[in-house]
Structures are given as C-alpha cells and as structure tokens.
C-alpha cells in the first residue's frame, strides 16, 4: 500500500483502539501512530527507495516539529507525560536501540524483517524502553501496516527469519483497494477526532 494509505489506516486504527481521553493523549497518539504506520517501509529496495526514505524521514521530522509546537503553544504536558513514564537515560538508550533496529531493518529485503512479528516486537521493546506510554499507539499503527500489506500480491515475511511469507493476493499495492482504504481511513480519523474532541470539551465544561 502507499504511504498515505498506511498513515490514514494506522492513525485510524490507533484512535479506535486506544481512545485518547485528553488532548495531551490525543496529540501523542497522532504523533506516534503516524511514525509507527510508516516505519516498516524504510526497507524499500526499489529505484524509488531514496525518495521513500526521504519522505518517511521528512514525515517524522514534521511530526516532531508539530508536537514541539503544540507543546510550546498550548502547554499540553506532552514531554512531561513521556518523562513521567521514563527518564532521560531511558529515552537515550531507547532511541539508540530503535535507530539500531531500523538501520538493521533498512538493509533487509523489503517486506521481511520490518514487516514481521519479530521486527514489531523488537521495535516495540525499544519504544517501551523509551517510554511505556507510547507503546500502544506504536504497536497498533505498525501492526496495521503489516496487516494491510498482506492484502497485496507480494509476500510479507510475517514469521521472519523463517522462509516463505503470506500474501492474500486480493489487490495491488497502488490500486482501487488502496484508494478506498485511504478514503475510509481518513474518514474514520476525521470522525474520531470530532468525537473525541467533542467528548473532551463536554468533560471540560461539565
């Protein structure tokens, strides 16, 4: 599936499963789920791999900047919430481990390690070390990426390093189904944002 579809589906899934109850949790959910929904594709090995990697890195940078802006503009307590479940040393080591796993995964064939249960478990472990608060959003988003890629014709090595893989062969990676998943995912995100923000507003004024 395309990057925008993974972002839409991953964010929608994370919102539906985790149900953030505060504005702070909502921003954390959005930021982490966007990253989790695209991180698997840093292993793209086509002629467009550099563009894909640049797009993913740019998206991660944009998310980081937006979270920093939201924190400074509205004092949401995003970073203090992360620190309350972690420490500076854990954040450092978690980030180093996360980047190390990504560097290893980037050198593996596409849809292998970073599309596997092992890859999901190891990256989730790194996120847990960084801050347990972030884990549910990341796991749901990355799992959604792996799940919808299995709809395509190319195999997903879900049980890497074992040989073989899973492919349902129901659609192409950039066809009609991809387009509909993007539309449905985007609609769910909008509906959930309106519903969750409305619920937060009602709780604030009650």
The yes-or-no verdict on residue 113 having pLDDT over 70 is yes
The boundaries of the domain holding residue 33 are 3-205
The pLDDT tens digits for 115-151 are 999 999 999 999 999 999 999 999 999 999 999 999 9
CA 184 from centre of chain: 17
Q: What number of CA atoms fall less than 13 Å from residue 112's CA on the CB side?
A: 14
Asked if the model's pLDDT at residue 47 lies above 60, the reply is no
Burial class of residue 190, CB neighbours in 10 A (0-12, 13-18, 19+) = exposed
What are 156's strand-pairing partners?
166
Given this model, what pLDDT does residue 125 score? 97
- Kindly state the percentage of the chain with pLDDT values over 90: 64
Instruction: Report pTM.
Output: 0.91
Supply the mean pLDDT for the chain.
Answer: 90
pLDDT tens profile 176-195: 999 999 999 999 999 999 99
Q: Is pLDDT of 77 > 70?
A: yes
Averaged pLDDT for residues 10-35: 95
Give the residue-averaged pLDDT of 64-81.
87
Residues in the chain: 206
H-type alpha helices, the chain: 3-18, 23-38, 49-74, 78-84, 88-106, 117-130, 135-149, 176-205
**How many domains does one find in the chain?**
1
């Amino acid at each position: 599936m395309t990057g925008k579809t993974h972002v839409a589906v991953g964010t929608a899934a994370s919102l539906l499963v985790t149900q953030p109850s505060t504005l702070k949790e909502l921003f954390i959910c959005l930021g982490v789920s966007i990253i989790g929904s695209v991180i698997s594709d840093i292993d793209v090995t086509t002629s467009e791999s550099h563009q894909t990697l640049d797009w993913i890195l740019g998206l991660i940078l944009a998310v980081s900047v937006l979270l920093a802006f939201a924190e400074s503009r509205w004092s949401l307590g995003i970073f203090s919430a992360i620190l309350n479940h972690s420490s500076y040393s854990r954040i450092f080591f978690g980030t180093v481990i996360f980047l190390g796993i990504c560097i290893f995964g980037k050198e593996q064939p596409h849809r292998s390690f970073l599309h596997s249960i092992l890859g999901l478990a190891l990256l989730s472990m790194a996120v847990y070390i960084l801050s347990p608060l972030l884990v549910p959003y990341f796991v749901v988003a990355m799992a959604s990426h792996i799940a919808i890629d299995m709809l395509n014709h190319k195999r997903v090595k879900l049980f890497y390093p074992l040989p073989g893989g899973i492919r349902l062969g129901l659609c192409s990676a950039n066809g009609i189904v991809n387009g509909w998943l993007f539309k449905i995912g985007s609609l769910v995100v909008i509906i959930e944002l309106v519903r969750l923000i409305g619920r937060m507003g009602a709780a604030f004024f009650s």
